[in-house]
Copies of this chain bind each other. A is one copy, B any other.
Amino acid sequence: MRYQKVPDETIRRLPRYLRALLFLQQRKTESISSQKLAEYVQLNSAVIRKDLSHFGAFGKRGTGYNVSLLSKTIRDILKLNKPQKTVLVGAGRLGTAIASFPGFKRYGFDITAIYDNSKAKIGGKIGDTTIKSTSRLADIRRSEIKMAIIATPPDAAQETADILVENGVTGILNLSSCYLKVPKRVKVRTIDLAMELSMLPYYS
């Protein structure tokens, strides 16, 4: 099923809705009003109703949206309805923490390959996955991996991104605190935790 003409703005908000819905599903909540959902995602409930109407999800007056149905629909749209093979590059402290997160699996990401350039780490395991040498990173092409997480030191990030993109990766979560240059067809989300924290003292 294709959902056409969903605006980019809406697409960008869908993961926030999905996050709330997964949380509600864990708590066995069956339905939720747009007002209540608005509290979770910190958006106006009118924005939510409009966003969700784009793909035919309409809350029922009095009961609201069906949580599991809406969650499934959003997964379908975001192409999270089948496992997304994901490569992690960088098995340092952050990379190791990430490879052990249960969160990724919940969203449908399966970290099937881990690479590092440290001889001490290559051959070791995180969970069931063996850490391989970054010299073999081009191998991801054969596994048709499209998603990647970069958790390398800053000075290795761009080179890593280049190899990933050359070998078929189209989406990168960049945790390297570096800016990455990639072709337009590749999407990068950069998360810099220190930057996120730096917003808070202003309000103190």
Contacts and interface: CB of A to CB of B under 8 A. Distances in A.
A106 to B, nearest CB: 7
A14 B201 CA distance: 12
Chain A, interface size: which category? 35 or more
A200 B107 CA distance: 12
A172 B200 contact: yes
Interface string A60-78: 0000000000000000011
A128 interface: no
Interface of A: 11-12, 14-16, 18-20, 23, 40, 77-80, 84, 86, 92-94, 96-98, 100-101, 103-104, 106-109, 146-147, 149, 170-173, 175, 177-179, 187, 189, 191-204
